[in-house]
Amino acid sequence: MHSSETTLGRLCLVPAPLDFMCESQVPLSHVMPMHTLEVASQLSHWVCENAKSTRALLKRIDAVCPLKTPIQLQTLVELPRLVHKKGDHAAGVDTSSLLGPALAGHDLGLVSEAGMPAVADPGSSLVRAAHDAGIDVLPLVGPSSLLLALSASGLNGQQFAFVGYLPQDSAARNQRIHALEKHALTTGETQIFIETPHRNQALWQALVSHLQPNTRLCRSSNLSLPNMQIVSRRVGVWRKNPGELDKHTPVVFAFGP
Amino acid sequence: MHSSETTLGRLCLVPAPLDFMCESQVPLSHVMPMHTLEVASQLSHWVCENAKSTRALLKRIDAVCPLKTPIQLQTLVELPRLVHKKGDHAAGVDTSSLLGPALAGHDLGLVSEAGMPAVADPGSSLVRAAHDAGIDVLPLVGPSSLLLALSASGLNGQQFAFVGYLPQDSAARNQRIHALEKHALTTGETQIFIETPHRNQALWQALVSHLQPNTRLCRSSNLSLPNMQIVSRRVGVWRKNPGELDKHTPVVFAFGP
């Protein structure tokens, strides 16, 4: 707690479009409310997942809402590698030192490569440190692949879990798929997960082979983009024509009763 | 599957601002991308949680993006009561008959009173029926109180569950709180839940009394609104000054290690 809270900056959570590393880009106005772009355009201090992609985003914002501070004069600090790799929770890294600009009175942006920062992406340790330092946290509206995939899946949206990544080893992965399916069928809870794109096909084959025929399985790619594809079918139907996933496109998977 | 899929309309999932029943309203441009408003403005057939609040939303959209069809000429059909009350999943209602306009070639909007349709709100049965009828589902970007609350909580965003409502009976509620906390502390999974506003204070007292002092507990209200409040503290800190929740304001609760 600070004696003069009015002098502190805020931690602004700035969502990014979902076209990172994708073939086609969307206009920012497709996926970001004007207010989000306006707040982002006023910032000159950032904590980010990757400085290069943040600069690319700032250029796109500048084209819609002119930046208050030229990009080359802005301060961009990357989250520690360990947080990238293990996730904030497992890494146990203290990121409070990155809050310097906010403690000095500047609004500070947190941004990841795609979607909402600190959701299915690193950054929550910084948000936590902000709360502990009495810094206000301002989440801004923008796209989230998990939410778009869930709402469009036809699966239960009144009870759901994002379980992150499944194990890479095939025996462990199958075991995990069975455990998640058992939980989903018992409780009704939709299970949502992602994978690094080059492993998508192996995961997809495992899902189509090992889930029960009556379980509903949805795969969503290129969410919010012109080539968006969302297909939701019972596993028994998928088995007749499972299709193939390419090695480059991020996919959100979800299943449930 | 249809032989001439080009003649089918799409099911468009239109998010609504989070100021339903709130004191203050936000400008739509604060929380909705222009593309979302443009798509919504072209629709003339809707399935909704509540026809009256949908008409109010359409008026607000019209002020930013003129509607293609005057509101009084639009078709608004409410989701069945049973889906409202029990949720799509538990109700087991067949809502495929509501897809008539899309089958006849018109784009059909699905909208709830606040936030993303079919997420923490009814509508997933209609989305499911659309997939089964070969109707494309188009989720649009907009605000979600759950996602905003999660990203701003400082809790683990790489593994989380939305568990809906907790039991009303106090003994059952306490038992559920303990079970969720045990699960959260064992797995690291953030637990997110909501309550009808007039029961918020009872739930809040139970949380502050029964969770372990080291558990982090976040409460978020008026998300995306001018009077937004997001406070995230360890339970031991909350106990010293728990504050009080009013009977009218929706709150998103979240806790975890």
Q: Please judge whether A161 and B160 are an interchain contact, meaning their C-beta atoms are less than 8 angstroms apart.
A: yes
Name the residue in chain B with its Cα closest to that of A38: B30
Q: Please judge whether A87 and B156 are an interchain contact, meaning their C-beta atoms are less than 8 angstroms apart.
A: yes
Residue B120 — very low, low, confident or very high, per pLDDT cuts 50/70/90? very high
Domain-located, residue B2: no
pLDDT of residue B6: 57
Give me the residue from A13, A149, A161 closest to B151, CB to CB: A13
- Condensed to tens digits (0 to 9), the pLDDT of residues B5-58 reads 559 999 999 999 999 888 788 999 999 999 999 999 999 999 999 999 999 999
pLDDT of residue B93: 82
Q: Please judge whether A152 and B137 are an interchain contact, meaning their C-beta atoms are less than 8 angstroms apart.
A: yes
Same domain, yes or no: B128 and B170: no
Based on the structure, what is the number of domains in chain B?
A: 2
- Mean pLDDT confidence for A97-112: 97
Q: Tell whether the model's pLDDT for residue A169 goes beyond 90.
A: yes
Residue with tokens 């995306």: B224
Q: Tell whether the model's pLDDT for residue B228 goes beyond 90.
A: yes
Q: Please judge whether B139 and A230 are an interchain contact, meaning their C-beta atoms are less than 8 angstroms apart.
A: yes
pLDDT of residue B117: 96
The answer for residues whose C-beta is within 8 angstroms of residue A170's C-beta and 6 or more apart is: A202, A206
Q: Tell whether the model's pLDDT for residue B123 goes beyond 60.
A: yes
With contacts defined as CB-CB under 8 Å, which chain B residues touch A136?
A: 230
Name the residue in chain B with its Cα closest to that of A39: B30
Q: Tell whether the model's pLDDT for residue B83 goes beyond 90.
A: no
For residue B31, what is the enclosing H or E element? helix B28-31
Same domain, yes or no: A134 and A171: no
Same domain, yes or no: A75 and A149: no
Q: Tell whether the model's pLDDT for residue B240 goes beyond 50.
A: yes
Taking the CA of residue A103 and the nearest CA in chain B, the distance in Å comes to 18
Same domain, yes or no: A9 and A127: yes
pLDDT of residue B17: 97
With contacts defined as CB-CB under 8 Å, which chain B residues touch A222?
A: none
Give me the residue from B119, B147, B188 closest to A116, CB to CB: B147
Q: Please judge whether B154 and A34 are an interchain contact, meaning their C-beta atoms are less than 8 angstroms apart.
A: no
Same domain, yes or no: B35 and B127: yes
Final residue before a domain boundary, out of A139, A169, A199: A139
Q: Tell whether the model's pLDDT for residue B126 goes beyond 60.
A: yes
Query: What ipTM did this prediction achieve?
Result: 0.95
| Pairwise pLDDT comparison (B68 vs A96), residue with the higher score | B68
Residue A120 — very low, low, confident or very high, per pLDDT cuts 50/70/90? very high
Give me the residue from A139, A157, A164 closest to B159, CB to CB: A164
For residue B234, what is the enclosing H or E element? strand B229-234
Same domain, yes or no: A151 and A120: no
Which of these ranges, B37-46, B92-101, B129-138, has the smallest mean pLDDT? B92-101
pLDDT of residue B1: 46
Q: Please judge whether A147 and B30 are an interchain contact, meaning their C-beta atoms are less than 8 angstroms apart.
A: no
> What percent of chain B lies above the pLDDT cut of 90?
87
| Residues A252 and A195: beta-carbon distance below 8 Å | no
pLDDT of residue A90: 78
Taking the CA of residue A90 and the nearest CA in chain B, the distance in Å comes to 9
With contacts defined as CB-CB under 8 Å, which chain B residues touch A159?
A: 89, 161-164
- Condensed to tens digits (0 to 9), the pLDDT of residues B143-199 reads 999 999 999 999 999 999 999 999 999 999 999 999 999 999 999 999 999 999 999
- Mean pLDDT confidence for A143-147: 97
Domain that holds residue B238: 145-256
Which of these ranges, A57-66, A83-92, A194-203, A242-251, has the smallest mean pLDDT? A83-92
pLDDT of residue B88: 83
CATH number at residue A42: 3.40.1010.10
Q: Please judge whether A155 and B216 are an interchain contact, meaning their C-beta atoms are less than 8 angstroms apart.
A: no
Same domain, yes or no: A135 and A153: no
Taking the CA of residue B156 and the nearest CA in chain A, the distance in Å comes to 6
Task: Residue count of chain A, please give it.
Answer: 257
- Averaged pLDDT score across all residues of chain A: 94
Output the six-digit token pair for B236: 């031991």
Q: Please judge whether B156 and A124 are an interchain contact, meaning their C-beta atoms are less than 8 angstroms apart.
A: yes
Final residue before a domain boundary, out of A83, A107, A139: A139
Q: Please judge whether A124 and B153 are an interchain contact, meaning their C-beta atoms are less than 8 angstroms apart.
A: yes
Best A19, A132, A136, A158 member to test B by mutation, with max B CBs in 10 Å, is A158
Instruction: Report the predicted TM-score, pTM, of the whole model to 2 decimal places.
Output: 0.96
Give me the residue from A30, A137, A233 closest to B35, CB to CB: A30
Same domain, yes or no: B101 and B49: yes
- Condensed to tens digits (0 to 9), the pLDDT of residues A53-78 reads 999 999 999 999 999 999 999 999 99
Taking the CA of residue B165 and the nearest CA in chain A, the distance in Å comes to 9
pLDDT of residue A6: 58
Domain-located, residue B202: yes
- Mean pLDDT confidence for B86-94: 81
pLDDT of residue A92: 80
With contacts defined as CB-CB under 8 Å, which chain B residues touch A142?
A: 141
Residue with tokens 């936030």: B115
Domain-located, residue B3: no
Q: Tell whether the model's pLDDT for residue A1 goes beyond 50.
A: no
CATH number at residue A215: 3.30.950.10
Same domain, yes or no: B108 and B43: yes
Q: Please judge whether A154 and B233 are an interchain contact, meaning their C-beta atoms are less than 8 angstroms apart.
A: no
| Residues A9 and A47: beta-carbon distance below 8 Å | no
β-bridge mates for residue B78, sequence order: B48
